[in-house]
Chains A and B, each alone.
Chain A
Amino acid sequence: MDVALVGFGTVGQGVAEAIATKNHVLEQSLGDKVRIVAAFDSSTYAVDKSGLDPLDLVKRKAAKGKLGKVRKDSIAEMLKALDYDTLVEMTPTNIKDAQPGLSHIRAALGKGRDVITSNKGPLALKFRELANLAEKNECELRFEASVGGATPVINMARELLVCERICSIRGIMNGTCNFILSRMESEGIPYEPALREAQQMGFAEADPSYDIDGIDSACKAAILANAIMGLDITVHDVERTGIRGINLDAVNLAMQERKVVRLIGEVTSRGAEVSPRLIPRGHPLSISGTLNLFHIRTDLAGEITVAGRGAGRYETASAVMADIYTVMKLRRSIGQRD
């Protein structure tokens, strides 16, 4: 399968490395390999119909900060002209207008190409438009990496739990907030120093509002609501309260009741919400640290919990690779049918 990688930062480079190390698994299992025919960062690109060496791209990016030639046209325009099977979109999440990812995904789906993305912006703002476009042009739109990093919540809910009625999904959807709340509770560190610790350890951005005001969790809750509950909402429809303002007194009062404070994203057929909640100690959602965790209630299976690393170069690449595998498998079964 020929892929175009758009966005070559943490995730993009992790995916290139994973392609290099896991191509033999794909070949053994599916009789086909992934070939990178194009790669883009914000200003440069490399294209080769016969395939680019993934590790060479990573080395080049690390050494020179660029992938190749300076780009003159927009990536969306170039994606219309290029020859590839699947776009892997990994540019930064933008929840103002979802660009540039939205144009990239529209260009690929519009041309009947499959799309795999880790980018939350287009999915949190234009989910239904993109899902409809994919359906109309009979292509795949897959986005496991966009929610929960390595945690396989979307594909599990949509594929393995396909016969279930999913009543609710509640989750720890942001590792930074969970780290801060866990530190406050286990070490008695006040909110501000706990946040600074998260920043020093590289979890939280210099401007942490995207995490601590619950915006990141709200994007994920909106994606889950659309993808799993069949709703048609955007991140702006998610009722949202973050963890700003939560102090040690509150955490201690919760502890006296044998509870912990956690920022919980909650999705039901009625909508989505992100808010701090009092979770009984011992409940799966009382988990400490930076992991993401999803607690799903269904009619037949009852309760199912899945947890994993919510971010990271290889962790996120793991979810992208799972989608690559599925797209290759689907393409193969369509090829066998034809």
Chain B
Amino acid sequence: MRVNVDLRLKDVPGQLIRALEPVSRNGGNIVGVVHRHDQISAGRIGVNLTFDVPSEKVLEKVQAEWSGAEVDLMRIENIFETYPLEYVIVGDVSAAEMKRITEGIQALGQVESIDVKYSISSSKDKAAHISGKVRDRDIIKKSNKFMRERAKRSGFVIIRGFGD
């Protein structure tokens, strides 16, 4: 899992190492460090850190080590890596069908967002663009399978994205 934290450290040399070491010692991987020189207060400086840890348990260990090393944790946020999901469907794109599709994809779980855009045309065969973000790559495969089944049942053509 990827985590983003705001830390406060003593503004003296060698302190940054005390913040980073617990992450690497516990098998984490540091992705980015940003010094917040604008956030100095009471002799303490702000640091924003992004890192990957293998599990919640490891994260708890890192937090415990920080508090023992006088590194203050001000804010913590999980960042989920997302994968794009994208289709253009051609044919019957009635509101009822779109509802079935978006609800079906959402029911697969781990879906962060899903958007639908319709074509503006007078032809009878319309098209719609569906895009979304999912938190698990496997969901893309499941969604592709779901879309193939729906296409067969409802007789529309799917043009799939390229991210899978």
**Would you call B90 an interface residue if the criterion is a C-beta within 8 Å of the partner chain's C-beta atoms?**
yes
Q: Which of A71-79, A83-91, A271-279, A320-328 contacts B (4 or more CB under 8 A)?
A: A271-279
Cβ A249 vs Cβ B126 within 8 A: yes
Cβ A256 vs Cβ B129 within 8 A: yes
**A111 CB → nearest B CB, Å:** 46
**B148 CB → nearest A CB, Å:** 9
Interface centre among B87, B88, B158 (most CB of A within 10 A): B88
Q: Which of A249, A253, A257, A278 contacts B125 (CB 8 A)?
A: A249
Contacts of A278 in B (CB 8 A): 86-88, 159-162
Cβ A257 vs Cβ B90 within 8 A: no
Q: Which of B87, B117, B123 contacts A247 (CB 8 A)?
A: B123
Residue of B nearest to A252 (CB): B119
Contacts of B131 in A (CB 8 A): 257
- Interface range for B: 20 to 34
Cβ B119 vs Cβ A249 within 8 A: yes
**Would you call A254 an interface residue if the criterion is a C-beta within 8 Å of the partner chain's C-beta atoms?**
yes
- Interface range for A: 20 to 34
**B132 CB → nearest A CB, Å:** 13
CA–CA, A252 to B122, complex, Å? Answer: 13
Cβ A276 vs Cβ B157 within 8 A: yes
Dominant secondary structure at the B interface: strand
Cβ B159 vs Cβ A261 within 8 A: yes
Cβ A246 vs Cβ B157 within 8 A: yes
Contacts of A245 in B (CB 8 A): 90-91, 125, 157
**B94 CB → nearest A CB, Å:** 14
Cβ A277 vs Cβ B121 within 8 A: no
CA–CA, A249 to B119, complex, Å? Answer: 6
Q: Which of B119, B129, B157, B158 contacts A257 (CB 8 A)?
A: B129
**Would you call A250 an interface residue if the criterion is a C-beta within 8 Å of the partner chain's C-beta atoms?**
yes
Interface centre among A248, A261, A283, A285 (most CB of B within 10 A): A248
Contact residues of A between 237 and 283, Cβ < 8 Å to B: 241, 244-250, 252-254, 256-257, 261, 275-280, 283
CA–CA, A196 to B119, complex, Å? Answer: 25
Given A248-B123, A249-B125, A249-B127, answer yes or no on A254-B88 (Cβ-Cβ < 8 Å): yes
Q: Which of B86, B119, B128, B159 contacts A276 (CB 8 A)?
A: B159
CA–CA, A40 to B89, complex, Å? Answer: 48
Cβ B162 vs Cβ A246 within 8 A: no
Contacts of B88 in A (CB 8 A): 250, 253-254, 261, 278
CA–CA, A192 to B52, complex, Å? Answer: 52
**A42 CB → nearest B CB, Å:** 38
CA–CA, A276 to B117, complex, Å? Answer: 19
Contacts of B125 in A (CB 8 A): 245, 247, 249
Cβ B159 vs Cβ A248 within 8 A: no
Given A254-B88, A256-B129, A278-B88, answer yes or no on A249-B161 (Cβ-Cβ < 8 Å): no
CA–CA, A257 to B130, complex, Å? Answer: 11
Cβ B157 vs Cβ A253 within 8 A: no
**A168 CB → nearest B CB, Å:** 11
Cβ A250 vs Cβ B160 within 8 A: no
Residue of B nearest to A253 (CB): B129
Interface residues of B (CB under 8 A from A): 86-88, 90-91, 117, 119, 121, 123, 125-129, 131, 157-162
**Given A241-B157, A253-B128; 13 other pairs, CB 8 A cutoff:** A245-B157, A246-B157, A249-B90, A249-B126, A250-B88, A252-B127, A253-B117, A254-B88, A254-B159, A257-B131, A275-B160, A276-B160, A278-B160
